[in-house]
Structure 1
Amino acid sequence: MTSVSRYMSYRGYQFPMLKYWSPSLGVTMLGVVGAILFLAMTLGPKPYYWPTDASYGSSPPIATRAGWMALALLPFVLGLSVKANMISVLTSIPHEKLQIFHHWTSYAMFLLALIHTFPFIIYHIDKGDMVKQWKTSLVYWTGIGAIIPQAYLTIMSLPFIRNRFYEFFKATHMIAAVVFIVFFFLHCDFRLSSWDYFIASGIIYFLCLSFSQVRTYLMHGIHTATLELLPSGLARVSVPTVIKWTPGQHVFVRFLTPDLHLLTAHPFTISSVYRDPDQAGKAPELAFYIKPRRGVTARLAALAAKQTGITKKILIEGPYGGVSTHHMSQFDTILVIAGGSGGGFSLAMVDEALRVSGLHTGEDESGQESRRRLQVVFSTRDTPMADWYIDEIESRLSQSTTLPGSDNGFETSVSVHITSKPDLTRSTSTLDSEKGTAGKLPPTDITTTGSFSLNIYRNARPDIPGLVARTVAMAHANPMPNGKKQRIGVLVCGPASMLHDTRNAAALAQKRTFGGEIEELYLHSESFA
């Protein structure tokens, strides 16, 4: 059952002509079931309009049904819109995985609102009193006042529009939502049980919102963030804190300065691991590696470039999502895949894998030496980004084996793929490992061996489906010393195409799990879109 459900959770489809990557097969099937349910309830019962020779009032049946179903969706739309929502508490599914259902319930609500609206117009046009109704009925004006902001929210939230105008939509989203709720409330006008749905919506939304705000303002408080622009072009944000987190989690950061969008909070994936302050001797530090694009990230980079080490006061909401320490400690093979600024995510995963491994001995229950495998694959277009990543990953892996006789418990390999053509005029630096040296960015592939291996590939993209398949095959061929089948964890962060390839490769690998070749293959994916 786990293998089948994970196959449905991972499998996705690509539509190159539309530049669209679908949600997982399981999510798509839920969407289809929901669409069939709403269409059946809306279009199934007849008649759509009352007979002209009968007097049943001026509300067409199809409009009545659609209106009440739209109203019944309101608690779900609002409940799914907040980060600290009740569904996440009950199911342990993080809010970002539920956003697709916030979108779809909103689309369904808007479609039902249209089906509710137009039959009234058709009815009164046929009756010949449409102009009179428009001039004298307050219901029409409140309905128009609700459907206009609803249309704005729905159209602007379409992915290709939202991504293009993200900052503007984020700034206006809440205002439009408030206008919609107010006019929707006035439009319902306490009819029948409509008030019940608004009570439910208000309680659900404000309880969730209050919890997140109490945690942000009262429990976490104001933090000080230090900005630094790295040679790779990334902006590094470091924040000493008392907040606890797990690898791969993200937080929403609100910069308390007008030039960094004071009124909106922005999500950043944490690229550091939590270390107990009593053991470390200092407060743990949240670290974010941010690739400047437009809006607030571009302003962050500009401020860091103007003054190294500049500080800003911030508020932090979260953390959310992530991979549990329990999962990390159970994996016999860990495959970390990252692209671009997703490299920060992979560094946190490597740190956590090394930390968790250090908590365990190198022997299994039978007393035999147990060797786990850690494989890291990073892809980038930019040579400076590759430089930065190689320095960071080498530092982490070297520090884990610096003490005499120390061993991080992993057979580790790192592959760095630079997809742009090589710049042969650029000088190369030196990369040291325990047993060898080589130029950091040579025009040809190299392998550096020692406590870990490092492979650098020029003008080459990683073959992700082949990579996952080889990892599974190796795990099958090399069971643990006590004969136990291997558990594999695949952790990925990158652009949509990289996530799509990894998800489908992990879905296909479930057949090997179902067939008993390996114990488990678990996928955790993060998108920085």
Structure 2
Amino acid sequence: MMDMKMMGGGVPWLDQPVLLHSSRTDKCKLSPEQCAYRNSHWRYWYEADHVYALATIYFCCAVIGVFAISNLLVRYSPDWVKRTRVWRATTSMSRYLAYRGYGLKAIRYWSPSLGVLLLGIVGAGFFLGMTLGPQPYYWPTDANYGSSPPIATRAGWMALALLPFVLALSAKANMISVLTGIPHEKLQVFHHWTSYAMFALALVHTFPFIIYHISKGDMVKQWKTSVVYWTGTVAITSQAYLTVMSLPFIRNRFYEFFKATHIFAAVVFVVFFFLHCDFRLSSWDYFIATGSIYLVCLAASQVRTYLINGLHTATLEVIPSGLVRVTVPTAMNWTPGQHVFVRFLTSDLHLLTAHPFTISSVCKTPDETGKASELIFYIKPRGGVTGRLAAIATKNPGCSKNILIEGPYGGVSAHHMAHFDTILVIAGGSGGGFSLAMVDEALRLSALESKDTVPGHDVRRNLQVVFSTRDTEMADWYVAEIESRLSHSTTLSPDLDSGYETSVSVHVTSRVNSASSSPAIGFEKDTSKLPPTEITTTGTFSLNVHRNARPDISGLIARTVAMSGSQGKYVGRKQRIGVLVCGPASMIHDTRNAAALAQTRVLGGEVEELYLHSEPFAW
């Protein structure tokens, strides 16, 4: 029978009496030579948590510390330091690493940035070295050194030490973002990778025990009498589910199911992992740290959602382009390109889960507009919640739903936007909403700056907008929206020689089927034979439609840098360029690589800087 001190009412439980830490008292009964071998630094079981778990903590904290220091330097270094060649060179090289990516178009795979890959290689080297470097993997057979294989011991402690970081990286309002300035969505890749590393270490921890007890011939006895095996089995099974389901090609295919089950499986994993550790040495310290970090992050997000943001009302409508437009009057503050997580308080829209949407409007005070600001989202209906939103809005146009809003997160600060001499906005498909917010913000900042402009002093900058879509209806909507914004801006200050020189290019990548769709603005039926046509030209902006042509992103960014270099020579000051992109993975990949290549032009001194902000459709 199973030892009853490890049972509680027939349910696997803990050793009694329950303590915070188990004892480190050790009486070695082997020969002096064997005791010295057993108790050496890399093999001693009673200090394994200090040797392996703390080393993992130090490694992860050191990586975070490097980025935290970098964040402080960027935030608080004076402008004269940022204009030095050393600063520009360091910034350009770091941005090259942050932007450069690799892709396999045949299977539609786009890698993380080169910097992320290198950091992953460093992490893999650390864990492989700590796991496979020390010897032996199994105890020698000349004496009874212990029942825990050394390789299983060290892998188990490193897996446990990763737990606080896995949970911290999963939170949207997380401490690592506060320290490093890296938004949570950019940290998701590290949440995935630390989870994969933890699972791999858990497997290395598990199988040596099975091999050891099979070789001893008591595997069945251990399974029947040791609660450690039961709790460990449940923990690693739920961990395997979390790991497999989070693989991108599976998660994206079954996203709604993944969202619905992820938290439940994570709770099961943590509870049974806690029971499996059974307060050995300092193991529970890591659960205390995990719980403290995660609860603080969770409390921060919930306070913002319920107490600061509060209940909102969203109005739904399907616009002719097929997008669902969601409008939310609010007193919240946000910056362009930020996103929020929206929870619809109705059972037909997944009441228990929140969904991320990029904000497609700018935050304006009531003094500027005479009314409350509006959060606007343009949502492309697909499956799940977005499909249900479209169905509801089609059936009942203008209907209202109560929602809760968590956020905002990410985005580009107003300081950054005001900092650029040239802004290049690139968007594809439903990423057009993102680009509209960026254009609105640029025009808003231009209007604010114009109030302080000395008459006759030309401070005009450049705004370029490139939008690509396969749908003529989407192009039609975008042309109307962007033209309305630019025309309104011109009307407000027709005589003021300041602001942005603006050019807009709309690319329709598919042929227009005249039998099934009506021509959009500036479109004719036989578009395949027509050259690019300029729709609108005024003194301040031009708008062009290109038919059956994809934008040449690499060439576009190269020309922008060259133009800014010439402009810099003309005004006697090197120019700063901001590239803002939202679209499908292939578009972001091409933009990232072009921005990475452009860093060589920064190093060459043609421009002062080129900054990239990317907003993917999914994380």
Shorter chain as denominator, the TM-score bin is over 0.9
Question: In the aligned structure 2, how far is the partner of 1:102 from the partner of 1:440?
Answer: 49
Question: In the aligned structure 2, how far is the partner of 1:419 from the partner of 1:69?
Answer: 50
Matched with 2:499 is 409
Matched with 1:499 is 588
Question: In the aligned structure 2, how far is the partner of 1:30 from the partner of 1:216?
Answer: 34
1:334 aligns with 2:423: yes
1:80-117 Cα distance to aligned partner (Å, 9 max, x none):
00000001111111000000000000000000000000
Question: In the aligned structure 2, how far is the partner of 1:405 from the partner of 1:440?
Answer: 35
The within-5 A match list for 1:448-463 is: 448-450=536-538, 451-463=540-552
**From 2, 6, 11, the counterpart of 2:100:** 11
Is the CA contact (8 Å cut-off) linking 1:368 and 1:481 kept in structure 2?
A: no
- Once the two structures are TM-superposed, the CA of residue 446 in structure 1 deviates from its matched residue by 0.6
The within-5 A match list for 1:15-414 is: 15-361=104-450, 368-403=457-492, 404-406=494-496, 409-414=499-504
- Once the two structures are TM-superposed, the CA of residue 239 in structure 1 deviates from its matched residue by 0.3
Question: In the aligned structure 1, how far is the partner of 2:498 from the partner of 2:524?
Answer: 24
- The residue type paired with residue 446 of structure 1 is T
Change (3 A) 1:193 1:367: farther
Is the CA contact (8 Å cut-off) linking 1:362 and 1:369 kept in structure 2?
A: no
Matched with 2:511 is 421
1:481-518 Cα distance to aligned partner (Å, 9 max, x none):
54111110000000000000000000000000011000
- Once the two structures are TM-superposed, the CA of residue 154 in structure 1 deviates from its matched residue by 0.2
Question: In the aligned structure 2, how far is the partner of 1:397 from the partner of 1:123?
Answer: 73
1:446 aligns with 2:533: yes
Is the CA contact (8 Å cut-off) linking 2:422 and 2:578 kept in structure 1?
A: yes
**Number of corresponding residues:** 522
- The residue type paired with residue 410 of structure 1 is Y
Q: Aligned with 2:412: secondary structure?
A: coil
1:272-304 Cα distance to aligned partner (Å, 9 max, x none):
000012332211000000000000000000000
Matched with 2:611 is 522
Question: In the aligned structure 1, how far is the partner of 2:378 from the partner of 2:221?
Answer: 61
- The residue type paired with residue 495 of structure 2 is G
Is the CA contact (8 Å cut-off) linking 2:476 and 2:520 kept in structure 1?
A: no
Question: In the aligned structure 1, how far is the partner of 2:170 from the partner of 2:524?
Answer: 46
Change (3 A) 1:132 1:190: same
Question: In the aligned structure 1, how far is the partner of 2:584 from the partner of 2:162?
Answer: 32
Is the CA contact (8 Å cut-off) linking 2:242 and 2:262 kept in structure 1?
A: yes
Question: In the aligned structure 2, how far is the partner of 1:45 from the partner of 1:232?
Answer: 62
Question: In the aligned structure 2, how far is the partner of 1:182 from the partner of 1:176?
Answer: 10
- The residue type paired with residue 301 of structure 1 is A
1:367-390 Cα distance to aligned partner (Å, 9 max, x none):
841220110000000000000000
Q: Aligned with 2:491: secondary structure?
A: coil
Matched with 1:434 is none
- The residue type paired with residue 208 of structure 2 is P
Question: In the aligned structure 2, how far is the partner of 1:127 from the partner of 1:439?
Answer: 79
Is the CA contact (8 Å cut-off) linking 1:480 and 1:486 kept in structure 2?
A: no
Change (3 A) 1:29 1:288: same
Question: In the aligned structure 2, how far is the partner of 1:261 from the partner of 1:99?
Answer: 23
Change (3 A) 1:407 1:393: farther
Question: In the aligned structure 2, how far is the partner of 1:427 from the partner of 1:179?
Answer: 54
Question: In the aligned structure 1, how far is the partner of 2:105 from the partner of 2:575?
Answer: 36
Is the CA contact (8 Å cut-off) linking 1:50 and 1:61 kept in structure 2?
A: yes
The structure number with the bigger radius of gyration is 2
RMSD, aligned α-carbons: 1.6
1:476 aligns with 2:565: yes
Question: In the aligned structure 1, how far is the partner of 2:131 from the partner of 2:446?
Answer: 56
Is the CA contact (8 Å cut-off) linking 2:96 and 2:596 kept in structure 1?
A: yes
Question: In the aligned structure 2, how far is the partner of 1:227 from the partner of 1:482?
Answer: 48
Change (3 A) 1:439 1:131: closer
Matched with 2:59 is none
Question: In the aligned structure 1, how far is the partner of 2:570 from the partner of 2:558?
Answer: 22
Q: Aligned with 1:373: secondary structure?
A: strand
Question: In the aligned structure 2, how far is the partner of 1:440 from the partner of 1:407?
Answer: 35
The within-5 A match list for 1:431-442 is: none
- The residue type paired with residue 448 of structure 2 is L
- Once the two structures are TM-superposed, the CA of residue 17 in structure 1 deviates from its matched residue by 3.8
Question: In the aligned structure 2, how far is the partner of 1:440 from the partner of 1:72?
Answer: 63
Q: Aligned with 1:163: secondary structure?
A: helix
Gapped regions of structure 2 (runs ≥ 5): 1-89
Between Structure 1 and Structure 2, the one with more helix by share is: 2
Change (3 A) 1:396 1:341: same
Question: In the aligned structure 2, how far is the partner of 1:474 from the partner of 1:208?
Answer: 45
1:234-264 Cα distance to aligned partner (Å, 9 max, x none):
0000000111000000000000001000000
Change (3 A) 1:58 1:69: same
Gapped regions of structure 1 (runs ≥ 5): 431-437
Question: In the aligned structure 2, how far is the partner of 1:213 from the partner of 1:136?
Answer: 43
Is the CA contact (8 Å cut-off) linking 2:424 and 2:465 kept in structure 1?
A: yes
Q: Aligned with 1:416: secondary structure?
A: strand
Is the CA contact (8 Å cut-off) linking 1:381 and 1:420 kept in structure 2?
A: yes
Question: In the aligned structure 2, how far is the partner of 1:148 from the partner of 1:401?
Answer: 62
Question: In the aligned structure 1, how far is the partner of 2:524 from the partner of 2:577?
Answer: 30
Matched with 1:433 is none
Is the CA contact (8 Å cut-off) linking 2:458 and 2:497 kept in structure 1?
A: no
Change (3 A) 1:279 1:367: closer
Question: In the aligned structure 1, how far is the partner of 2:182 from the partner of 2:455?
Answer: 36
Q: Aligned with 1:267: secondary structure?
A: strand
Is the CA contact (8 Å cut-off) linking 2:574 and 2:607 kept in structure 1?
A: yes
Give the percent of matched residue pairs that are identical in Structure 1 and Structure 2: 75
